[in-house]
Amino acid sequence: MKKIVVAIDGPAGAGKSTIAKLVAEKLGYAYIDTGAMYRSVAWKFLQTGKDFDEAFISALAQTMVIEFKPEASVNRVFVDGTEVTDAIRSAEVTANVSRVAAIGDVRAAMVAQQRRMGEVGGVLMDGRDIGTVVFPNAQLKIFLTASVEERALRRYKELVAKGQDVDLAQLKEDIASRDKQDSERAISPLRQAEDALLLDTSDMNIEQVTTRILQLVEERAQ
């Protein structure tokens, strides 16, 4: 079988990273979580304590080194040698990342790295603009989505399982607000590529989604 590029896009909380990681493991493909890259830029910027400044943040994005070290249960992330796996999931980073990801020069720097990582094939990349901008010629494009209610509920269960005290209505509001910011930004907004397959997972479990994507990869990689 050929080693293809699989692009998975979709809104926050649709299960992209969980699914992409499982599928990549089954196929022996590399998994690139591009949201983690934008989160890393936001984290690096917040570390400086400076006011929001597009030119400054763009310069950081161009010089920082982001690395992934996949392990059995987690995809570890490092910025300039420091592990940020948990730090990039903090509420503060989550609240700031959409603004950072809307900066054109930040996106240009990340897209260039993503293309380098994917050029050899055998890669599963998830994000918002993978099928539309990063790899418009990807052999398989999937747009993974689920209702806002279902996405909020999944995130709620995940956080409760980690012992966090969370409010479901607030989570739903946060997700809807991130959807809006990601879909309405001027540069590379979240949208389904014309040739992407829409997979609504509202009524599907993880195994069903994984199996479906594996079938699709098998078809496309002939």
Q: What residues make contact with ligand DC under the rule CB under 6 A?
A: 12, 34-35, 38-39, 97-98, 101, 127-129, 178, 182
Strand stretches in the chain, DSSP E: 5-9, 30-33, 66-70, 75-79, 82-83, 123-127, 140-145, 197-200
Structure tokens at 16: 């992209």
Distance CA 141, CA 121 (A): 14
Using the minimum distance from each CB to ligand DC, give the nearer residue, 114 or 210. Answer: 114
Using the minimum distance from each CB to ligand DC, give the nearer residue, 141 or 178. Answer: 178
Question: In residues, how long is the chain?
Answer: 222
- Cα–Cα–Cα angle for 97, 101, 105, rounded to 5 degrees: 140
Using the minimum distance from each CB to ligand DC, give the nearer residue, 39 or 141. Answer: 39
Using the minimum distance from each CB to ligand DC, give the nearer residue, 27 or 33. Answer: 33
**C-alpha distance from residue 28 to each of 17, 42, 87 (Å):** 16, 30, 27
Using the minimum distance from each CB to ligand DC, give the nearer residue, 21 or 39. Answer: 39
Q: Which residues pair with 30 in a beta bridge?
A: 123
Q: Rounded to the nearest whole angstrom, what is the least distance from the CB of residue 98 to ligand DC in the complex?
A: 4
For residues 66 and 112, the answer to whether their CB atoms sit within 8 Å is: no
75-79 and 82-83 as β-strands: parallel, antiparallel, unpaired?
antiparallel
Q: Rounded to the nearest whole angstrom, what is the least distance from the CB of residue 23 to ligand DC in the complex?
A: 16
Q: How many CA atoms lie within 13 A of 183 on its CB side?
A: 11
Q: Rounded to the nearest whole angstrom, what is the least distance from the CB of residue 17 to ligand DC in the complex?
A: 7
Using the minimum distance from each CB to ligand DC, give the nearer residue, 2 or 136. Answer: 136
Q: Rounded to the nearest whole angstrom, what is the least distance from the CB of residue 218 to ligand DC in the complex?
A: 25
Q: Rounded to the nearest whole angstrom, what is the least distance from the CB of residue 101 to ligand DC in the complex?
A: 4
Q: Rounded to the nearest whole angstrom, what is the least distance from the CB of residue 146 to ligand DC in the complex?
A: 14
